[in-house]
Amino acid sequence: MKANKKQLLSDDNAFNPQVVSGFVVLLISIIVGILIFWSLSGGMPLTDTQTETVTTDITGTAFSLPTNGDSDDGSNASAWAIQTLYLPSSTTGVNVTCYNSTGTSESYPTFTLSNRRIDVSADVADGFNQVNLSYTTKFSTEKTGTETMASTVFALLPIIALVLVAGIILAVVMGFGKKQGGTL
């Protein structure tokens, strides 16, 4: 049966340089890929907590302090919303602080988060003219998981390289014992 006699590698030595060069190209591609990943990974932004200072609501209206000393007017008199620059990873990781720059007082209102939009209802914060945000971005959370996996895979790459080199050496050594058209 001809199908059973078909070999994975041909008997002629012309095929051996192609196999070896294929392994070398694979190793070089892996090394270049690792170098590119680490150079890009180190330059990616938002690896830590993102902080923002906001002085206007989502419509562009500037936050204003109460004029008569109580919270019936100013920014706290009606509901307001702001938008983060980046997508927060979760509601629990977002800290919204209403800040009064003249009285240096702070308050921490309850809020709802929908995608990048933060909504605060009326009368839940003291008089303020600035909102300070701090949050961990979704990008940062995903990047951390990717770096952990990449570190594990990259730690195993020297073993893979040793196995490939050992395979090349074994293939060359086994090639010495083949017949070239006669007997040994």
3-state SS assignment for residue 137: strand
Q: What is the mean pLDDT of residues 95-110?
A: 85
* pLDDT level of residue 9 (50, 70, 90 thresholds): low
- pLDDT higher for 95 or 5? 95
Sheet holding 130-135, edge to edge: 50-54, 130-135, 95-100, 105-107
Q: What is the mean pLDDT of residues 39-53?
A: 69
- Please name the residues in contact with 87: beta carbons below 8 A apart, sequence gap of 6 or more: 115, 116, 137, 138, 139
- Please name the residues in contact with 100: beta carbons below 8 A apart, sequence gap of 6 or more: 65, 106, 126, 127, 128, 129, 130
* pLDDT level of residue 177 (50, 70, 90 thresholds): low
Q: Residue 140, CB half-sphere, CA atoms under 13 Å: how many?
A: 15
pLDDT at residue number 12: 60
d(CA 79, CA 96): 15
pLDDT of 97 strictly over 80: yes
pLDDT at residue number 119: 92
pLDDT averaged over every residue in the chain: 76
Give the pLDDT confidence of 126-159 residue by residue, as tens digits: 888 899 998 887 776 666 666 677 777 777 777 8
pLDDT at residue number 108: 86
Cβ atoms 93, 99 nearer than 8 A = no
